[in-house]
Structure 1
Amino acid sequence: MTSADASAAPLPPDSEPGYLAAVTDLLGALAYGELCAFSQLAKDAELAPTLRHKSAIAQLAAHELRNFTVLSERLASLGVEPETAMEPFVPAVDAFHERTAPSDWLEGMVKAYVGEGIAQDFYREVSTYVDADTRALVLQVLEDDSQADFAVTAVREAIAEDHRLAGRLALWGRRLVGEAITQAQRVGVERDALASILVGAPGRPGADLAELGRMFARLTDEHTRRMERLGLSA
């Protein structure tokens, strides 16, 4: 899907106003997340130990910026200013990043893969309950195997050179999962419109409490798999 394709698809013609607000919240939260990911990766590139690492991380940052542009175009096509859609999520997302500021580039790579991965999994779960075009857009911007592959390779190479790093990075990963799930819960409940995607609204089915519990269990399971791929204990 191209940027133009992403911005052209409208919501279903029978959508009620509450659904437009819900989709606006979903895309606004995603857009701000992508903008912050771009900023964080740009900082990580400055800390990278070699020109090869610096170049690779800069390219990952550019990818996040392209995703932000695609989401902004879709919001504009819905008649919503991107900044207006993002604003409600600034406090929660900024608080997460303030609490999880990496101390070096390796912690930055673990955060990009593990911490951001949990947020991405959360939005994938939410996208199950939206229309097909919106879901396709969400999955498009969350598809980023290059970032995952680079982070895994970089962390594993560093641990192979210095095994002492494994313990510190494992503790960091465990801290990230708690903070990221807290952020996902905060984002999901503080906005009624976004919460309505998950729990449903008149004419729109959602998840019951049991399914919400299973959803957060899946987020934790995916975190464990990511940590294992990094060579770290969850």
Structure 2
Amino acid sequence: MTAGTDPTADAAAAHRRGTLDLLGVVAYGELSAFERMAADAATSPTLQDRVRMAAMARAELEHFDQVAEHVAGLGADVVEVMAPFRAAFDTFHTFTAPRSWLEGLVKTYVGDGFAADFYREVAAYVDGGTRACVHAVLANESTAEYVVDRVRAAIADDPRVAGRLALWGRRLVGEALSQAQRVAAEREDLTGLLAGTPARPGMDLTAIARMFTRLVERHTERMAALGLAS
């Protein structure tokens, strides 16, 4: 051991950085979701859809505020903890810009759902308060129900859209995996939450493989719920 170093203190500092990274990526995801849903509301096919999309956007902004409050309680600033993830998120959204309102709905359900599953997996290795915050802001049962109903109705009206949306869903999960890899490569403390330390055990390689299997299975379930082939 190098003189003057404290492995326990170093591990605690890394864990705190990883925790703030998790909160930062979740916060920026919620902020981005608000912006996307607000924009999608303007292209809604009916006034009822526009109202629902606006309400969904408002809920995402409320989720962002929840994360920001939790970050402040940890003595950090939400803008600062979000900043490292801006480039990766913006690149992802550029590559996955929907070409229609329906594609936007699928992106909300499939793309955001895949990311949320991953963040919940990571949240198993942070403190209870942070874990509760992450799970609370990622809960989206009402949004999921609405998207499933609208996509299934669109397929019933025109079965030809199913093939196009299925391809779109597969592309989304591929891009989401690429984004996760970019983030993992750049933020060692975030991925360190999964790897763990002697004081805070994480996942071994077998457990990580099982985690990715779970993520793919949940993606397949979401695609099936939409009436799309995964």
2:195 to 193, 199, 224: 199
C-alpha deviation, 1:143, in angstroms: 0.8
- Which stretch of the first structure deviates more once superposed, 195-204 or 101-110? 195-204
For residues 1-234 of structure 1, what are the structure 2 equivalents within 5 Å?
Answer: 16-234=12-230
Equivalents in 1 of 2:197, 2:101: separation in Å?
Answer: 43
Give the secondary-structure state (helix, strand or coil) at the position aligned to 1:65. Answer: helix
C-alpha contact 2:88 2:179 (8 A) present in aligned 1: yes
Partner Cα distance (2:15, 2:78) in 1:
17
| Residue segments in structure 1 that go unaligned for 5+ positions in a row | 1-14
Tell me the residue number matched to 2:8: none
Task: Report how far residue 50 of structure 1 moved.
Answer: 0.3
Q: Secondary structure at the match of 2:16?
A: helix
- 1:22 positional shift: 1.2
Task: Give structure 1 regions of 4+ aligned residues with deviation exceeding 6 angstroms.
Answer: none
Deviation for aligned residue 1:39: 0.5
* Deviation string, structure 1 residues 32-80 (Cα, Å, up to 9, x no partner): 0000000011111111100011110111111100000000011111111
Task: Give SS of 2:70's match.
Answer: helix
Letter paired with 1:120: A
Q: CA deviation at 1:230?
A: 0.2
TM-score by length of 2: 0.93
* Cα root mean square deviation, aligned: 1.1
How many residue pairs were aligned?
220
Q: 1:5 maps to what in 2?
A: none
- Give the C-alpha shift of residue 81 in structure 1: 1.1
